[in-house]
Amino acid sequence: MEKSINDGKLVLCGSNAYEKKYYFNKDFEKLPESIQEELHIICVLFTEEVGGIFLIAFDEEGTPIIQTDSDEDDFYYDDVSAGLLVKEVQKNKRELFEALALYYRVFVLKEDPAKILAEAEE
Q: Is residue 107 part of a domain?
A: yes
Q: Is residue 70 part of a domain?
A: yes
* pLDDT tens sequence across 72-92: 999 889 899 999 999 999 999
Average pLDDT, the chain: 92
Q: Is residue 5 part of a domain?
A: no
Whether the per-residue pLDDT at 108 is higher than 60: the answer is yes
Could you please report the per-residue DSSP string of 32-62?
A: -HHHHHHHHHHHHHHHHHH-SEEEEEE-TTS
Whether the per-residue pLDDT at 122 is higher than 50: the answer is yes
Q: Is residue 47 part of a domain?
A: yes
Sheet of 10-16: strand order equals 21-24, 10-16, 53-58, 64-69
* pLDDT tens sequence across 20-51: 999 999 999 999 999 999 999 999 999 999 99
pLDDT higher for 25 or 1? 25
Domain housing 40:
10-121
With cut-offs at 50, 70 and 90, classify the pLDDT of residue 116: confident
Contact 102, 69 (CB under 8 A): no
The residues, ordered by sequence, that sit 6+ positions from 7 with a Cβ below 8 Å of its Cβ are none
pLDDT, average across residues 53-80: 94
Q: Is residue 113 part of a domain?
A: yes
Give the number of domains in the chain.
1
Q: Is residue 1 part of a domain?
A: no
Whether the per-residue pLDDT at 4 is higher than 60: the answer is no
Q: Is residue 2 part of a domain?
A: no
Q: Which stretches of the chain are DSSP H helices? A: 33-50, 79-92, 94-103, 113-121
